[in-house]
Amino acid sequence: MRPSGRNVSEMRPISIETGVTRHAEGSCLIKCGDTHVLCTATIDERVPPFLKNSGLGWVTAEYGMLPRATHTRMRREAKNGQSGRTQEIQRLIGRSLRAGIDRVALGERQIVVDCDVIQADGGTRCASITGGWVALKLAIAKLMKAGLITSDPMMENVAAVSCGIYAGQTVVDLDYAEDSEAGTDGNFVMTGSGKLIELQASAEGATFSRQQFNELLDLAEAGVAELVAAQNAAVA
């Protein structure tokens, strides 16, 4: 039995509200149950130095958490610098979003996607990827509407869900109560057509079998399909 009463393959309610901030070129507030992430996309006409004169675009991401997004207040990262965990997460978000983009079509410009967790209840990196894609899509739509881009660089939806082994059962979309107890948990980033972008599965003080991993992947495929539907509804 899951703490939330959900069955093993049941996702939390998904809500994606777009256009939530006045300044960003694209933005949304994604809610996966009690995990709320504000995603904004900023268009920067300059690319990083390693892409100067390459004709290729770039998408990068930054991730943060408000100090009281969590049950217990966390120290503000601006006081000590970004932790290794934060850097690992934001590299994952950036890598994932780039997999859905045609960087030639984007042209030599950069889009910075900021994912700031307003409230956390597990799965913040996955929600950031799913919401980040929406913000990115909206910013690019603006570029296309302005005629700055002619061929759509958005090749496919990109979305992510966590799955894990909780109380011996493989379950989808872990909330914090599950995540903190799970022996094995993983993050699965996929495209709208079900191709894989990134898989991470990790056991802490435990191991898992190949059979169990396959079950996690089955759950993730179904979960991502629900997220992709929500993305498409939001940007329609």
Annotated binding-site residue numbers for phosphate: 85, 123-125
CB of 45 to a second copy, least distance (A): 12
**H/E element holding 126?**
helix 124-145
CA distances (Å), origin 77, targets 81, 134, 205, 220: 5, 26, 28, 31
Is 76 or 233 the residue whose CB approaches a second copy more closely? 76
In sequence order, the β-bridge partners of residue 31 are 15, 36
Q: Residue 25 is encoded by which pair of tokens? A: 């070129």
CB of 138 to a second copy, least distance (A): 13
In sequence order, the β-bridge partners of residue 189 are 160, 198
Q: Using CA atoms, how far apart are residues 211 and 194, in angstroms rounded to an integer?
A: 20
CA dihedral 219→177→212→123, nearest 10 degrees, is 50
CB of 150 to a second copy, least distance (A): 21
**H/E element holding 231?**
helix 210-235
Is 3 or 233 the residue whose CB approaches a second copy more closely? 3
CB of 203 to a second copy, least distance (A): 5
Q: What is the CA radius of gyration of the chain?
A: 18
Is 144 or 199 the residue whose CB approaches a second copy more closely? 199
- Beta strand 58-65 with 110-119: parallel, antiparallel or unpaired? parallel
Binding site for a second copy (CB under 8 A): 21-24, 27, 34, 38, 40, 42, 44, 62, 64, 66-71, 73, 76-79, 81-84, 86-88, 91, 95, 98-99, 103, 112, 114, 116, 118-119, 121, 186, 191, 195-210, 213, 217
Is 7 or 20 the residue whose CB approaches a second copy more closely? 20
CB of 46 to a second copy, least distance (A): 12
Is 150 or 207 the residue whose CB approaches a second copy more closely? 207
Is 99 or 235 the residue whose CB approaches a second copy more closely? 99
Q: Using CA atoms, how far apart are residues 61 and 201, in angstroms rounded to an integer?
A: 22
CB of 72 to a second copy, least distance (A): 8
In this structure, how many other beta carbons lie within 10 angstroms of the beta carbon of residue 78?
9
Phi (first) and psi of residue 163, to 5 degrees: -135, 160
CA distances (Å), origin 188, targets 46, 64, 83, 102: 31, 20, 22, 21
